[in-house]
């Protein structure tokens, strides 16, 4: 009789420990991504309001050889779809002289095999896949990038400083 009582006691104790362990588990929180903020991944969020794009028509210096130029004017509301490309109203090779816009590069008229086409290649047709407008905002992260000209100048200065030190 005492053996049955001990077995029931152990079984009850074991069940209570299991329930306690289950209750002690942290509550599962929905998966989030820090870039999206506190909203769970599966939740639709309202996108942030677009800033006031720079609209000064000043051409920016490129940081590397094949960097696509940035767009120096507002493009919100531009229709660029399979039926029409608003960018080509000013940047097509036939209209650039009148609009004084930078004409589309000849590379945009080549197919993937390097053959010249009579119109902009379909793989280069959607301009804002590569070209972006600029916002006057503070950078999210510090940037220590130096283009090749700045690196050469820095190297020349350090060499001339080292030579001046050797002469003294």
Q: Is residue 60 part of a domain?
A: no
Q: Is residue 104 part of a domain?
A: yes
For residue 161, what is the enclosing H or E element? helix 148-167
Q: Is residue 118 part of a domain?
A: yes
Identify any residues that bridge with 135 across adjacent strands, giving them in sequence order.
Answer: 53
Q: Is residue 154 part of a domain?
A: no
Q: Is residue 16 part of a domain?
A: no
Give SS3 for 79: coil
Annotated binding site for heme c: 73, 87, 90-91, 108, 127, 130-131
Q: How far apart are CA 19 and CA 35, in angstroms?
A: 37
Residue 67's nearest CA partner among 130, 110, 137 is: 130
Q: What is the CATH number of the domain that holds 83?
A: 1.10.1130.10
pTM of the model: 0.57
DSSP 85: B
Q: Is residue 26 part of a domain?
A: no
Q: Calculate the CA 78 to chain-centre distance.
A: 20
Residue 73's nearest CA partner among 61, 92, 60 is: 60
Q: Is residue 4 part of a domain?
A: no
**pLDDT for 108-150, tens place per residue?**
999 999 999 999 999 999 999 999 888 888 878 888 888 888 8
The count of domains in the chain is 1
Q: Which two tokens stand for residue 132?
A: 């972006």
**pLDDT for 43-72, tens place per residue?**
888 877 777 788 888 888 887 778 899 999
Q: Is residue 34 part of a domain?
A: no
pLDDT at 130: 93
Residue 166 has pLDDT above 90, yes or no: no
Q: Write 62-66 long-range contacts (CB < 8 A, 24+).
A: 63/145, 63/147, 64/147
Where in the sequence is the domain holding 131, given as residue range(s)?
70-136
Q: How far apart are CA 145 and CA 158, in angstroms?
A: 18
């Amino acid at each position: 009789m005492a053996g049955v009582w001990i077995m029931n006691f152990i079984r009850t104790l074991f069940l209570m420990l299991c329930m306690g362990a289950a209750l002690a588990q942290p509550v599962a929180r929905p998966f989030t991504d820090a870039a999206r903020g506190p909203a769970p991944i599966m939740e639709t969020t309202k996108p942030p309001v677009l800033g006031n794009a720079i609209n000064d028509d000043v051409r920016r210096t490129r940081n590397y050889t094949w960097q696509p130029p940035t767009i120096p004017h507002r493009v919100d509301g531009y229709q660029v779809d399979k039926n029409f490309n608003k960018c080509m109203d000013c940047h097509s090779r036939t209209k650039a002289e009148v609009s004084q816009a930078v004409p589309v590069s000849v590379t945009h008229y080549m197919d993937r095999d390097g053959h010249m086409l009579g119109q902009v290649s379909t793989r280069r047709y959607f301009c804002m896949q590569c070209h972006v407008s600029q916002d006057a905002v503070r950078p999210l992260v510090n940037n220590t990038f130096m283009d090749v000209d700045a690196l050469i100048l820095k190297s020349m200065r350090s060499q001339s400083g080292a030579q001046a030190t050797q002469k003294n």
